């Protein structure tokens, strides 16, 4: 049986001060049995995505210690950024890699929630596979209203925290934790400074689609009283329009299951949708790490002779096709999960 291996990808609401993130991630480097694979800081988002892997119990210990440090160093009362967020430690997902079941990861998220809520007097919501209600499965639903709307939201019967007090924590906000399959955070930049156009493309491709509105821009309700929606092109895809920087709009995505909707699917469709409105897709960006299989699948789409190509050659084709070498150098050995784990164990 394979050694139990779990991935944890905590998101911290700080992406500008390297010294703060250095202190928050220090426990990951110090705890035996845990490997720090990636630290992805985003200045405009003011958010850092950290990726660690290791033995389940040691990973849990590490992320709890990281959370305690973040609670001392991050104050949501002074936080602003482009990415939606509701807490200093915004989300803490546990992902099965090998020798670990989804049920095991659900238990890890519950153990994390219990420990942290007690230590920090922090409201915590369980999401994804760990969710205890349909309205809490999707992270965007839990985050809706963000930090600024949390004080009012937490008082409603619908949004009583799963762990911790039913009380607004002004310094830390709230945290979501859960268990999920590997998620790929992937963005495509446009040659435009119009966030609205990026969001229009996002609404066309994402699973939830777009709202149906009347000629005055008001939502149209169905017979059940819920807003009518036009379904998006893809399944298992979340997407929104953001700004990469002041002059570059971006379609920001989470691929929830790359076996259903792959990197090349969304990239090629964004190219097509952008051209319809006189724009071009100019760069791709992965946030955090990506499974090897997802890159190989994309590489087969872009390679001239995929049937005889090596894995390395397919990855190179994927890098080019997905435009991952435009914004910065893409380093496969540190950006692909399986290869990064191998490198770290050498």
Give residue-wise pLDDT tens across range 13-72: 999 999 999 999 999 999 999 999 989 999 988 999 999 999 999 999 999 999 999 999
Tell me the pLDDT tens digit for each residue of 255-295: 999 999 999 999 999 999 999 999 999 999 998 889 899 99
Lowest mean pLDDT among 42-46, 122-126, 316-320: 42-46
In which band, very low, low, confident or very high, does the pLDDT at 250 lie, cut at 50, 70 and 90?
very high
Q: Domains in the chain, start-ordered, CATH in brackets?
A: 5-179 (3.30.990.10), 184-345 (3.30.70.670)
Instruction: Say if CB 204 and CB 232 are below 8 A apart.
Output: yes
Residue 329 CB-half CA count within 13 A: 3
Q: Tokens 């570059």, residue? A: 248
Residue 138 has pLDDT above 50, yes or no: yes
Between CA 217 and CA 55 the distance in angstroms is: 51
Name the maximum alpha-carbon separation found in the chain.
62
Q: How many CA atoms lie within 13 A of 243 on its CB side?
A: 12
**Alpha carbon distances (Å) from 193 to 89, 197, 258, 264, 287:** 30, 9, 29, 24, 21
Q: How far apart are CA 117 and CA 111, in angstroms?
A: 10
The answer on pLDDT for 1 being more than 70 is no
Kindly give, in sequence order, each residue whose CB lies less than 8 Å from that of residue 41, ignoring residues fewer than 6 positions away. Answer: 15, 16, 18, 21, 47, 48
Share of the chain above pLDDT 70, in %: 99
Looking at residue 2, its pLDDT comes to 59
Mean pLDDT rounded to a whole number for the chain: 94
Q: CA 174, CA 147: separation in Å to the nearest integer?
A: 8
- What CA–CA distance (Å, rounded) separates 114 from 25? 21
| Backbone φ and ψ of 154, nearest 5° | -70, -15
Spell out where the chain has E strands. 5-8, 11-12, 34-42, 47-54, 89-98, 124-128, 175-179, 184-190, 210-211, 229-230, 237-245, 248-255, 281-287
Catalytic residue among 55, 78, 83, 303: 83
Whether 344 shows a pLDDT value over 80: the answer reads no
Q: What are phi and psi of 237, to 5 degrees?
A: -135, 125
Packing angle between helix 263-276 and helix 311-321, nearest 10 degrees?
Answer: 20
> What pLDDT, on a 0 to 100 scale, did the predictor assign at position 336?
92
Active site residue 265: no
Angle at 165 between CA 164 and CA 170, to 5 degrees: 105
Query: Mean pLDDT lowest for which of 214-218, 233-237, 265-269?
Result: 214-218
For residues 219 and 18, is the Cβ–Cβ distance under 8 A? no
What is the pLDDT at residue 226? 82
Bridge partners, residue 238, by sequence: 254
> Quick check: 137 pLDDT over 80?
yes
pTM tops 0.75: no
pLDDT at 346: 57
For residue 96, is pLDDT > 50? yes
- Give how far the C-alpha of residue 201 lies from the chain's centroid of Cα atoms, to the nearest Å: 19
Reply yes or no on whether the pLDDT at 159 is more than 90. Answer: yes
Residue 69 in 3-state DSSP? helix
Tens of pLDDT, residues 290-315: 989 999 999 999 999 999 999 999 99
């Amino acid at each position: 049986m394979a050694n139990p291996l779990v991935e944890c990808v905590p998101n911290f609401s700080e992406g500008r001060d390297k010294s703060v993130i250095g202190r928050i991630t220090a426990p990951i480097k110090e705890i035996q049995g845990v490997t720090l694979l990636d630290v992805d800081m985003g200045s405009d988002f003011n958010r850092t995505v950290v990726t660690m892997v290791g033995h389940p119990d040691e990973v849990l210990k590490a992320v709890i210690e990281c959370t305690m440090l973040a609670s001392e160093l991050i104050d949501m009362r002074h936080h602003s950024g482009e990415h939606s967020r509701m807490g200093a430690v915004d989300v803490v997902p546990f992902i099965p890699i090998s020798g670990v079941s989804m049920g095991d990861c659900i238990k890890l998220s519950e153990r994390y929630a219990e420990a942290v809520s007690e230590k920090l007097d922090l409201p915590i919501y369980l999401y994804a596979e760990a969710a205890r209600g349909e309205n809490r499965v999707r992270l965007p639903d839990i985050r809706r209203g963000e930090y600024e709307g949390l004080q009012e939201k937490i008082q409603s019967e619908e949004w009583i925290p799963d762990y911790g007090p039913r009380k607004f924590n002004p310094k830390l906000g709230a945290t979501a934790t859960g268990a999920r399959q590997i998620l790929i955070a992937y963005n495509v930049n446009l040659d435009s400074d119009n966030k609205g156009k990026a969001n229009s493309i996002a609404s066309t491709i994402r699973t939830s689609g777009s709202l149906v509105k009347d000629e005055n821009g008001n939502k149209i309700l169905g017979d059940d009283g819920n807003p009518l929606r036009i379904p998006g092109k893809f399944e298992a895809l979340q997407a929104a329009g953001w700004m990469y920087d002041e002059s570059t709009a971006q379609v920001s995505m989470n691929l929830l299951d790359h076996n259903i909707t792959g990197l090349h699917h969304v990239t090629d469709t964004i190219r097509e949708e952008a051209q319809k409105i006189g724009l071009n897709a100019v760069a791709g960006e992965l946030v955090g790490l990506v499974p090897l299989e997802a890159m190989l699948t994309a590489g087969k789409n872009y390679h001239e002779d995929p049937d005889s190509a090596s894995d390395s050659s397919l990855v190179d084709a994927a890098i080019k096709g997905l435009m991952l070498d435009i914004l910065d150098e893409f380093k496969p050995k540190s950006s692909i999960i399986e290869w990064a784990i191998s490198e770290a164990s050498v």
